[in-house]
Homo-oligomer: A and B are copies of this chain.
Amino acid sequence: MMVERLGLIGCGLMGGSFALALKQAGLVRHVVGFSPRESTRAKALALGVIDEAVGSLHEAVRDADVVLLAVPVAATASSLREMAPFLRVDTLLMDVGSTKGDVVQAAQRHLGDKLPCFVPAHPIAGSERAGVEAAYADLYRGQPLILTPIAETDATPLARAHHLWQALGCQVSRMSPEAHDATFAAVSHLPHLLAFAFIQGLSEQPQGAEFMSLAGPGFRDFSRIAASDPAVWRDIFSANASELLVQLSHFRHALTSFETQLQAIAQGQTDQNLTQNSAPHLAMLEQQIAQASAVRAKWKAH
């Protein structure tokens, strides 16, 4: 299980925390880190996140028995292409991306005969904070981690990835890249999209700021994720656009059925002759709320 030499590509929150977690668990002998910016590398070195800073990606992966790719989505394909010739055939290569279909596609296109080494990984962890200063050894502890192996993935690196993340305290599960992306479109990407659209719809109104000045804890929690990083979420939405659109259509369907009841109720309020017809719409509205409320009330975070 011991990692002799970890090649860390990207020394930010996710990559840095992985290195610190391995160190805390006594599971790594040497961490070689690369980040495009010299200042980031220097900070990672000063903070003890990496043991050695190198100025190029290929120096970081050469002779590494484990490579973790923890770069922004936009840099994934080019990083894979650049590292492929320098990877050992027995290296375990992983990423930490929030979408998997796009990463698998890039790997299939760029890794060539090193494709079997690659085990796509998504740790369900993060923080509003970013950068190597925010990295900490317990970021992944107790969190779910999903591996999305493909037909070409070798059993040996897959088993090693599984054991490594488990040793760091993760609840490791496996699914296909497609199932992964459908799942996270539903429970993560769609909520982010709705939160962004909610804030946009609000702030585009002349009284938007006035409205928000009176908002309470419900608003606070519901819209917290709307403050997320624009470049990160542009990339996630783009990488998972088709699944996100599928989830959006499910949402629109549900929203429309709520709206139908509301319109009938509002109509009954303005037209006195229709008042007595509101009862079935109120009953349907309550039933829809009750179903959602029951589902949400029994949900538990892992």
A residues near B (Cβ < 8 Å) are: 124, 144, 146, 182-184, 186-188, 190-205, 207-208, 210-231, 233-234, 237-238, 241-242, 244-245, 247-248, 250-255, 257-259, 262-263, 265-266, 269-270, 278, 282, 285-293, 295-297, 299, 301-302
Contact = CB atoms under 8 A, between A and B. Distances in A.
A67 to B, nearest CB: 26
B193 A301 contact: no
Contact of A293 (B182, B226, B302): B226
Contact of A230 (B230, B265, B290): B290
A221 B297 CA distance: 13
A116 to B, nearest CB: 26
Contacts of A223: 191, 296, 299
**Count of identical protomers in the assembly:** 2
Contact of A259 (B192, B207, B211, B248): B248
Contacts of A225: 218, 221-222
Given A193-B258, A212-B295, A222-B222, 10 more contacts: A124-B214, A187-B212, A196-B289, A197-B258, A198-B254, A202-B247, A205-B250, A215-B301, A221-B224, A237-B285
Nearest to A291: B200
Contacts of A215: 187-188, 299, 301
Contact of A182 (B207, B227, B228, B289): B207
Contacts of A257: 200
12 contacts: A186-B205, A187-B215, A191-B219, A191-B223, A221-B224, A226-B296, A227-B293, A227-B297, A228-B289, A230-B293, A242-B266, A242-B269
Q: Which 8 residue pairs across A and B have the least CB separation, nearest first?
A: A201-B254, A187-B215, A230-B290, A241-B266, A234-B286, A200-B254, A199-B292, A201-B250
Given A221-B224, A226-B296, A230-B293, A214 B285 contact: no
Contacts of A234: 282, 285-286, 289
A293 B229 contact: yes
A289 B230 contact: yes
B258 A296 contact: no
B202 A250 contact: yes
Contacts of A237: 262, 265, 285, 289
A225 B200 CA distance: 20
Contact of A251 (B124, B146, B198): B198
B265 A197 contact: no
